[in-house]
Amino acid sequence: MSDQVTLTLPDGSELEVQRGATALEATERIGPGLARAAVAAKVNGELFDLSRPISEDAEFEVLTFDSEEGKHVYWHSASHVMADAVKQLYPEARPTIGPAIDDGFYYDFDVPEPFTEDDLRQIEQKMQEIIEAEEPFSCERISKSEAEELFEEQQNRYKLELIDEVEDDVVSIYEHGDFVDLCRGPHVPDTGRIKHVKLLSVAGAYWRGSEANRMLSRIYGTAYPRKQQLEDHLERIEEARRRDHRRIGRELDLFSFHEEAGAGLVYYHPRGAMLRHLITEFATNEHIRRGYQIVRTPHLVKSNMWETSGHAQQAYPMYYTDIEGQSYGIKPMNCPGHVLVYKSHTRSYRDLPIRYFELGTVYRHEKSGVLHGLLRVRGFTQDDAHIFCRMDQLTEEITGVIEFADDMLRAFGFDEYEVFLSTRPEKSIGADDVWEQATEALRGALKANDLTWEIDEGGGAFYGPKIDIKMKDALGRLWQGPTIQCDFNLPERFDMTYVGADGEEHRPAMVHRVVLAGIERFMGVFIEQCAGEFPMWIAPVQVKILPINDRNFEYAETVAHRLRCEDMRVEVDTESGTLGNKIRQAELEKLPYILVVGDNEEEAGEVAVRKRGEGDLGPTKLEAFIESVRPETAPDSRYCALPGDTS
């Protein structure tokens, strides 16, 4: 056996190193700068600690913080440093799990008293001491019994529970300094690789997300190799807080939640209800223009329907109730109802495609720990549609939905998005060949539309694969948006047929799709995208009129009436106070236009115009104002279907 091994680098070049050389030594051969920036390596696709030896020829890739996998390793290592700091400061703390997440990490601890914001400063300072010590991370493989003995000494029942679930006879532990943790790794070579850390917040979290378990104290943090990267991240966090739809919802009086009436259920206030109405009205009209038929289905459905659909067997988060000894499920999805509408008549191949659309309100038993404003609720409405078509129509129908989704997102200002092809999950129904056929149909449509996409392994629905379109907001964050699911399973399970040209019965293909997704979630994302500054066409209040004196109220109402005749949404400020205070308050409401009317404006038939973002535009005739803003009161026609367009 040769004492050399050959490493094939990502660019196809080869590097020979001594057999048994560590990944770090191999990296140093490539370049000292890369070795200083490296956080881990991939050897034949497997993640490696840089201290791990290489014993055979392999494909070799060095991971730095600039890669997604590198960030994951870096932040996971930082979570271990944080857990070490916590244990040094609070010896009674029991670490549980501490993964890397998007933009950082967290670690959950069982502690007598929850951590406070003040505690974070001490923990952060202790982390810095550990980082400056440059303590090496080392990995050791030990037997499960040895690991159990180790964590029994630490009286950490959480680690013991995790060890018990490991199927192998051995587990891996990582150490740095005096801290040891159950972990698969990999980690950075030493704590000194972690440069700039910031602990962000504390929160409560149930062990394993179950309300039946103990409440733990969770610390969120982030870390970056360069100080400027951390500062940029903190600026993004601050901007995200400024745009937080929950804060804006309170400030603009759009919606509220009431724990005494039930968590995760939205109460829309007048302006919020108007915003929701405008969004759903626009969506409905666009569906009608594209050849969809509106249907409505009940909220309660007998439980056997959910058994036929497979929702019940998949332990879907449903609510059930009993009526006269018969079990009913409150619908979490609209698809079975649309199937029944389809089956109410004999269908011919000439009838297809059939496109059913419903603003369907559904309910799901989400755990309280995951509820998050409008983004995660228990009751929400989907712009839901199901298309029933022949196999030869499938690609064209999927293409039509892709184009529809693109138009809808751009109409609301989402000009960028990423596309994913989500494949069969572990828990699913149907035969492999049916899934492969459905997946190929979606893949074919993506290719036909020259789209770039990534594979999301196991991300499909339990009844079929799907195309997921994730919209990118003003901060570069991705949000789940339109989905297009190809389903050959439910037509089979519900025995759906159509009569073909040959006079025989055939199964239709079924496409489940939303082009905005849950209206509540879309509203939350849209509020954050706009930071509450809604475009004129969709603003709940487009114009606010401020009379200077009580004697100008009548003229203000006259102006309001004229604008309402033009279908503008108008409010008149009837509060007492100085004009300056009224203007400041109206500007805080982020309204597109403010019209000030006093004696001079009333006498001249004018309004003094203030525009959001531009300030005082001066007086103008009322009719001239109407004509000037008319183009802003309608959505961009480029993203609306032409009458009669059914593509």
CB 23 within 8 A of CB 9: no
pTM: 0.83
Q: Where does residue 296 rank: exposed (0-12), middle (13-18), buried (19+ CB within 10 A)? A: exposed
- pLDDT of amino acid 431: 85
Tokens matching residue 636: 């961009």
Provide the mean pLDDT of the chain.
93
- pLDDT of amino acid 641: 62
Per residue in 526-543, pLDDT tens? 999 999 999 999 999 999
- pLDDT of amino acid 122: 96
CA-to-CA distance for 319 and 23, rounded, in angstroms?
Answer: 52
Please give the helix or strand (H or E) that residue 409 lies within, else none. helix 394-411
- pLDDT of amino acid 36: 94
For CA atoms 616, 620, 626, 632, the dihedral sign is: negative
Tokens matching residue 359: 């603003």
Report H helices in 550-629: 553-565, 579-588, 599-604, 622-629
Per residue in 582-593, pLDDT tens? 999 999 999 999
CA-to-CA distance for 22 and 436, rounded, in angstroms?
Answer: 42
- pLDDT of amino acid 1: 65
- pLDDT of amino acid 370: 82
All structural domains of the chain: 4-64 (3.10.20.30), 72-228 (3.30.980.10), 255-299+332-530 (3.30.930.10), 543-633 (3.40.50.800)
- pLDDT of amino acid 464: 86
- pLDDT of amino acid 616: 95
Q: Higher confidence at residue 336 or residue 312?
A: 336
- pLDDT of amino acid 644: 44
**Looking at the annotation, which residues are catalytic?**
335, 364, 382, 384, 386, 466, 512
Q: How far is CA 477 from the centre of its chain?
A: 8
Q: Higher confidence at residue 226 or residue 2?
A: 226
- pLDDT of amino acid 437: 87
- pLDDT of amino acid 517: 85
Per residue in 15-32, pLDDT tens? 999 999 999 999 999 999
- Map tokens 């991939």 to a residue: 42
Per residue in 248-260, pLDDT tens? 999 999 999 999 9
- pLDDT of amino acid 643: 44
Phi, psi torsion values for 28, nearest 5 degrees: -60, -30
| pLDDT of 646 strictly over 50 | no
| pLDDT of 645 strictly over 70 | no
**Crossing angle for the helix pair 519-530 and 227-243, to the nearest 10 degrees:** 120
